[in-house]
Amino acid sequence: MKNYKKNRQVVSNLLIEDFASEGKCIGKLEGAVVFVEGNVAPGDVVDVEILSFKKKKFYEARVIKTHSLSEKRAEPFCEYFGTCGGCKWQHIGYKEQLQFKWQQVSDHLHRIAKVPLPEIEPIFPSEKTTFYRNKLEYTFSNLRWFTNEEIAQGVELERNALGFHIPKRFDRILNIEKCFLQPDPSNDIRNQLRTFALSKGFRFYDQKHNVGFVRNVIIRTANTGDVMVIVQFAEPNQEDIDVTMAFLAETFPQITSLQYIINTKGNDSYYDQTAILYAGKPYIEEQMEGLTFRVGPKSFYQTNSDQAYELYKIARDFAQLTGNEHVYDLYTGTGTIANFVARQAKAVIGVEYVPEAIEDAKINSAINGIENTRFYAGDMKNVLNEEFVAQNGHPDVVITDPPRAGMDEPVVRTLLRMEPTKIVYVSCNSATQARDLAWLDEKYTVQRVRPVDMFPHTHHVENVVLLEKK
């Protein structure tokens, strides 16, 4: 096999054969797999430049020329496609996106779990494929990323920007005029806030040197019509902060929760910072099947509200609760699933690592008049023990919704010792879910599998699995 890496060699007329993980596509070269990232689709014929290789088994490459386009393609609808990095599959038809996501789940479960599986049910599609997110975060920067089209204009361009990080460039921000991810008034708030900051001569944040005034803005919208805006400032200039917040309050009366954070750290993370309420309520509210969920500035809530409802309905359907079950909800977050199933259970016990999230979960139970839930904060592998079970009752059903890393092996071992009748496993990463299913195979059989598309135009997919004790 040739050493294509040595001279950054170009491979001509490579047929893109299929999708791969993490949104990439693959072709074949002399028996090796070529992973190609970017604006490619199965069926394309392209020239690629080899960027790296590993043990002559696979290559990493980028497209430098396209000869013919696949029938699976669609016309991208956003002017920033290919630069922003947020919706990498706009050029793929939605039907093909769904098919690949289903196939990805199937491949992971068969190849990694290697356990007996039922027929995998059809993926649940998203009715909305644009404007489906309820939260976006934009960054102010004095280092704007210029597209080739902008550079070609040959005119002096504004170097300050408010928008999204360029992939793999922490210090460069793509200025955004219209994003198709979040419904109104998100675009208008961002654009007018940027115009206001420029008109006032505010210093946009410098990522490299941690200097500047306006730093970041988080916009959350809710299905009740509530709108939360949180502005991060990197300097405690109270006069300019008040001027900025007053502008937002006056220009956008639909903002129901207006807050700000003074963050002088070297990163944008605000979970250890104090959010100061300027106007309105300290939270917004989402509604789901007659339940109300309060979402604070630091609260986690599924970013696709409509599909979260469908996901939770599927999880509840898999659990087949009768009203007599003790349910454990692991990685409960702000208790959304716990409260959602509480009316169909005898008791629901939620466990979560983040103490603030547990306080949100308790509030959500209280405001909905739910009295059969209890919530505990702590590391899952330390909380779940015999004493905990003796105190809270043996679980008949466990619902688990871990982060992308899946469940720690000690947690799986604890589940095997507890032996609940059913486990409903909700996952945002079917690869780690498959690994956990292999561990659980010692005592459990997979009975149902259903993927759910939460994020159209991305490679991400949720998956729900029902396991029953053998």
Tell me the C-alpha distance between 160 and 173, whole Å. Answer: 9
Strands 397-400 and 422-427: parallel
Whether 393 and 335 have beta carbons less than 8 Å apart is answered as no
Helices (H) and strands (E) in the chain, counts: 11, 23
Q: Is 76 helix (H, G, I), strand (E, B) or coil?
A: coil
294 in Cβ contact with 309 (< 8 Å): no
5's tokens: 């890496």
Residue 206 DSSP one-character state? B
Helix (H, G, I), strand (E, B) or coil at 297: coil
> Are residues 203 and 171 in contact, defined by beta-carbon separation less than 8 angstroms?
no
Q: Considering 78, 87, 179, 428, which one is annotated as catalytic?
A: 428
CA distance 116 to 283: 45
Strand, helix or coil for residue 246? helix
Spacing of C-alpha 28 from chain mean position: 31
* Residue 87 annotated as catalytic: no
Distance (Å, rounded) from C-alpha 164 to C-alpha 175?
7
Residue 406 Ramachandran class (φ > 0 left, ψ -120 to 50 alpha, else beta): left
Among residues 461, 133, 352, which one has the least CA distance to residue 339? 352
Q: Are strands 161-166 and 144-145 parallel, antiparallel or unpaired?
A: unpaired
Give the C-alpha distances (Å, rounded to integers) separating 118 from 109, 395, 437, 446, 464.
11, 25, 13, 7, 13
In the sheet that holds 276-280, the strands lie side by side as 144-145, 169-175, 161-166, 135-141, 214-221, 227-233, 257-262, 276-280
Burial of 40 from C-beta contacts in 10 A (0-12 / 13-18 / 19+): buried
As annotated, the active-site residues are 428
